[in-house]
């Protein structure tokens, strides 16, 4: 099978990962069919051998000197270290071996060295951040002065663009160590224990003598994985290692023209999971030259507010429609409830640990198992929310033909001033996961995702950049709030939802500053780092002039309309509703098979939502837009220039 991926003009190779299950296998030597339990047992024996060697290697080199030597990228002779971690460790002479009496081949040692080398390389960034914070330790750790902020950023490699939240979290970590030990920590290796070695097999570090994978020529959804596994937990000779053939059903997300690579095997929930990497061609995304962009603003209950803007040849920027919203108040409320349950369980286990009573060990074990289950529920909920929100945002960009998505950079934002509950919910939103998923999905369509500075995106008017006057709602102009913005300029007079104005500002800022887009070397993401005043002055949304009702000049083909056999409004009033359940002639075009409107239709869930509902939020289903969860609502976009489609009568994406 050829590993070279053919690319056409305007395409680039992209490597992604998909999950698959390895359910069975066949022992090539004996012809025995291995059940799922037997296969999991043999894979577990192999992962134990790899984890033992990787743990020994990590323990021996978990210090500042060895990590700096590996990060320097040169060996003792001045030669450049290879990019593969296992080859770099061998060049440095860092070897490992199994326990005495256990026989493994060289490829098993490679996987252990690769796993340990990746962990040692990843800790270098944390070591530099902690070293910079310690080198510029402030007089008052809880409140740095502007001069002290400049000092800590200067002492940290890449500190100029490091989010403030990371520096604060490391400061709190060092403060906790000082409170416990009475002194500052020397480095990150005193603050953190040796990295835990996960039980997995990195088959990418092996060659054909240990593992191979081949895609079926007749069935593109099938692949055959062949690898050597031990027949006993402590193999004494090479004869205790046999070839096992494992058929794998590829997920539908793997394209038919993709080149698959050796996976990573791990045991999860009693099953052998294969993290399958594959490379496939995708359209290239560009940094500049965008004319249609999607601006995305973060919120709390309204998780995402998005809308499109167009850059014209004369430099004007206009908004395409009124935008859309992705609301997840119900999901976030559930996440907050699970967090409260987790905190109570942790407090109870800590209390049992302090009592040190052997009679409470059984209760403590039960509580720890419940903590694990709650954690899994929270993790699954956050993952589902991140994928749903990212998919929704990418779909909005594809609907209007946008080539770039501009998202404000809120990595360093720490919620405050909104009460304990709101601060916690804001701090635990999955913005980072949504951003990663958004980049992953947008790359499939060749859409760039660029982060822009968040300064004044919600504070200034999108039409004239005048500071807004924020109120609770338009019908309550004297009550201070943050939801509704009113422009102070009499010439402009714009007013609207704060989030709706924010996505306009984000899209306009991105289009005006697109020549300042750079690719971050550390994360390989596109970012606009600074705001230029001359460019910011042009980042305004030009209001679209409304045409007169008497102007009936056509700007495009007339859309087909359904011929109504009956008039839209009846000429005579409907009869009085009977007292029982007897039928009644409906008014207008009301459906006859539904007695009342769904619950969601009575809530304030429109795109122009203003006031807070008088009653509490009791979600009973997503009647205005079905999503992954009953409590996630996605408002359909209202674009000014919808994509032509003769199969529908509105240019929306639901």
Q: What is the mean pLDDT of residues 319-329?
A: 88
Backbone φ and ψ for 98, nearest 5 degrees, come out as: -75, 180
E-state strands within 388-442 = 404-408
Q: How many whole angstroms separate alpha carbon 521 and alpha carbon 326? A: 31
Which pLDDT band holds residue 6 (cuts at 50, 70, 90)? confident
Cβ atoms within 10 Å of 76's Cβ, excluding its own: 9
- Angle, nearest 10°, between helix axes 106-135 and 164-181? 90
Q: What is the mean pLDDT of residues 99-115?
A: 94
Which pLDDT band holds residue 597 (cuts at 50, 70, 90)? very low
Closest by CA to 625, choosing from 335, 378, 379, 395, is 395
Q: How far is CA 248 from the centre of its chain?
A: 27
377-431: pLDDT as tens digits: 999 999 999 999 999 999 999 999 999 999 988 765 555 544 555 555 555 567 8
Report CA-CA distances (Å) from 339 to 16, 170, 298, 368, 371: 32, 23, 21, 15, 10
Report CA-CA distances (Å) from 208 to 86, 107, 203, 265: 17, 10, 10, 16
Backbone φ and ψ for 14, nearest 5 degrees, come out as: -135, 130
Residue 474 confidence (pLDDT) above 90: no
Partners of 12 in the β-ladder:
282
Three-class SS state of 354:
helix
pTM for the predicted model, two decimal places = 0.77
Residue 225 confidence (pLDDT) above 90: yes
Q: What is the mean pLDDT of residues 26-42?
A: 93
- Contact status, residue 277 vs residue 21, Cβ threshold 8 Å: no
- Angle, nearest 10°, between helix axes 329-355 and 361-400? 160
Residue 494 confidence (pLDDT) above 50: yes
Mean pLDDT of the chain, nearest integer: 83
Looking at the chain, the whole-number percentage of residues with pLDDT higher than 70 is: 80
Residue 2 confidence (pLDDT) above 60: no
Element containing residue 132 per DSSP (H, E): helix 106-135
Three-class SS state of 294:
strand
Q: Which residue has the higher pLDDT, 563 or 108?
A: 108
82-91, 243-252, 579-588, 633-642: range with lowest mean pLDDT: 579-588
Q: What is the mean pLDDT of residues 511-525?
A: 89
- Contact status, residue 129 vs residue 156, Cβ threshold 8 Å: yes
Q: What is the mean pLDDT of residues 325-353?
A: 88
Strand pairing category for 448-452 and 526-527: parallel
Q: What is the mean pLDDT of residues 99-125?
A: 94
17-26, 159-168, 206-215, 387-396: range with lowest mean pLDDT: 159-168
Q: How many whole angstroms separate alpha carbon 192 and alpha carbon 183? A: 16
- How many angstroms separate the most distant Cα atoms in the chain? 97
Q: How many whole angstroms separate alpha carbon 517 and alpha carbon 151? A: 27
Nearest 5°: the CA angle 210, 213, 218 is: 155
Query: Using the 8-state DSSP alphabet, how is residue 284 labeled?
Result: P
Looking at the chain, the whole-number percentage of residues with pLDDT higher than 90 is: 54
Three-class SS state of 388:
helix
Joined tokens for residue 375: 């954690």
Partners of 19 in the β-ladder:
275
Cβ atoms within 10 Å of 319's Cβ, excluding its own: 24
Q: How many whole angstroms separate alpha carbon 226 and alpha carbon 245? A: 5
53-100: pLDDT as tens digits: 999 999 999 999 999 999 998 988 889 999 999 999 999 999 999 999
Partners of 215 in the β-ladder:
223
Element containing residue 408 per DSSP (H, E): strand 404-408
Q: How many whole angstroms separate alpha carbon 42 and alpha carbon 229? A: 6
Joined tokens for residue 21: 């299950």
Q: What is the mean pLDDT of residues 633-637?
A: 66
Q: Which residue has the higher pLDDT, 429 or 260?
A: 260
279-293: pLDDT as tens digits: 999 999 999 999 999
Query: Using the 8-state DSSP alphabet, how is residue 568 labeled?
Result: S
Cβ atoms within 10 Å of 42's Cβ, excluding its own: 21
pLDDT for the residue 430 = 78
Side-chain half-sphere exposure of 63, counting CA atoms within 13 A: 6
pLDDT for the residue 653 = 35
Joined tokens for residue 283: 């359209």
Side-chain half-sphere exposure of 350, counting CA atoms within 13 A: 6
Q: Which residue has the higher pLDDT, 157 or 640?
A: 157
What is 167-220 written as a DSSP string?
A: HHHHHHHHHHHHHHHSS--SSHHHHS-PPP---EEEGGG--TTTEEEEE-SS-T
Matching residue, tokens 């490091």: 162
């Amino acid at each position: 099978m050829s590993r070279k991926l053919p690319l056409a003009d305007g395409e680039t190779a992209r490597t992604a990962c998909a999950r698959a299950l390895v359910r069975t296998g066949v022992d090539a030597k004996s012809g025995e069919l291995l059940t799922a339990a037997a296969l999991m047992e043999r894979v577990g024996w192999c992962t134990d051998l790899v984890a033992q060697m990787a743990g020994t290697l990590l323990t021996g080199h978990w210090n500042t000197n060895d990590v700096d030597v590996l990060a320097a990228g040169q060996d003792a002779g001045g030669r450049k270290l290879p990019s593969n971690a296992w080859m770099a460790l061998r060049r440095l002479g860092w070897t490992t071996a199994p326990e005495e009496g256990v026989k493994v081949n060289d490829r098993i040692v490679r996987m252990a060295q690769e796993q340990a080398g990746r962990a040692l390389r990843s800790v270098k960034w944390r070591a530099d951040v902690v070293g910079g914070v310690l080198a510029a330790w402030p007089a008052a750790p809880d409140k740095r002065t502007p001069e002290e902020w400049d000092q800590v950023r200067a002492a940290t490699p890449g500190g100029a663009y490091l989010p403030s939240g990371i520096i604060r979290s490391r400061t709190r970590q060092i403060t906790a160590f000082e409170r416990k030990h009475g002194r500052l920590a020397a480095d990150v290796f005193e603050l953190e224990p040796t990295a835990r070695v996960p039980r997995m097999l990195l088959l990418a570090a092996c060659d054909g003598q240990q593992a191979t994978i081949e895609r079926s020529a007749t069935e593109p959804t099938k692949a055959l994985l062949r690898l050597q596994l031990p027949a006993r937990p402590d193999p004494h000779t090479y004869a205790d290692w046999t070839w096992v053939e494992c058929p794998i059903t590829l997920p539908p997300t793997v394209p038919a023209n993709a080149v698959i690579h050796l996976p990573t095997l791990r045991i999860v929930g009693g099953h052998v999971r294969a993290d399958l990497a594959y490379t496939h061609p995708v359209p290239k995304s560009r940094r500049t030259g965008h004319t249609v962009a999607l601006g995305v603003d973060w919120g709390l209950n309204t998780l995402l507010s998005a809308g499109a803007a167009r850059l014209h040849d004369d430099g004007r920027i206009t908004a395409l429609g009124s935008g859309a919203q992705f609301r997840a108040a119900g999901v976030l409320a559930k996440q907050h409830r699970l967090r409260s349950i987790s905190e109570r369980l942790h407090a109870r286990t800590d209390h049992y640990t302090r009592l040190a009573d052997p009679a409470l060990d059984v209760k403590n074990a039960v509580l720890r198992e419940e903590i694990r289950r709650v954690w899994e529920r929270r993790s699954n909920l956050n993952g589902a929310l991140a994928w749903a929100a990212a998919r929704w945002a990418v779909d909005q960009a594809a609907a209007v033909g946008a080539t770039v998505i501009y998202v404000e950079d809120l990595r360093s934002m720490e919620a405050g001033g909104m009460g304990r509950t709101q601060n916690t919910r804001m701090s635990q939103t999955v913005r980072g996961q949504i951003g990663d998923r958004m980049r992953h999905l947008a790359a499939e369509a060749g859409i760039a995702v660029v982060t822009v500075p968040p300064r004044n995106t919600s504070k200034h008017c999108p039409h004239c950049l005048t500071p807004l006057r924020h109120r609770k709602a338009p019908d309550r102009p004297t009550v201070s709030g943050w939801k509704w913005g009113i422009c102070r300029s009499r010439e402009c007079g714009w007013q609207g939802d704060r989030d709706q104005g924010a996505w306009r500002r984000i899209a306009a800022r991105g289009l005006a500053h697109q020549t300042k887009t750079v690719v971050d070397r550390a994360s390989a993401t596109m970012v606009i780092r600074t705001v230029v005043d001359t460019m910011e002055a042009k980042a305004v949304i030009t209001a679209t002039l409304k045409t007169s009702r008497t102007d009936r000049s056509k700007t495009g083909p007339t859309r087909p309309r359904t011929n109504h056999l009956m008039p839209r409004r009846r000429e005579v009033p409907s009869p009085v509703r009977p007292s029982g359940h007897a039928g009644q002639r409906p008014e207008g075009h009301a459906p006859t098979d539904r007695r009342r409107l769904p619950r969601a239709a009575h809530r304030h869930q429109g795109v122009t939502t203003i006031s807070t509902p008088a009653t509490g939020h009791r979600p009973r289903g997503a009647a205005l837009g079905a999503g992954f969860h009953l409590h996630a609502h996605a408002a359909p976009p209202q674009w000014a220039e919808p994509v032509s489609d003769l199969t529908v009568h509105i240019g929306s994406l639901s």
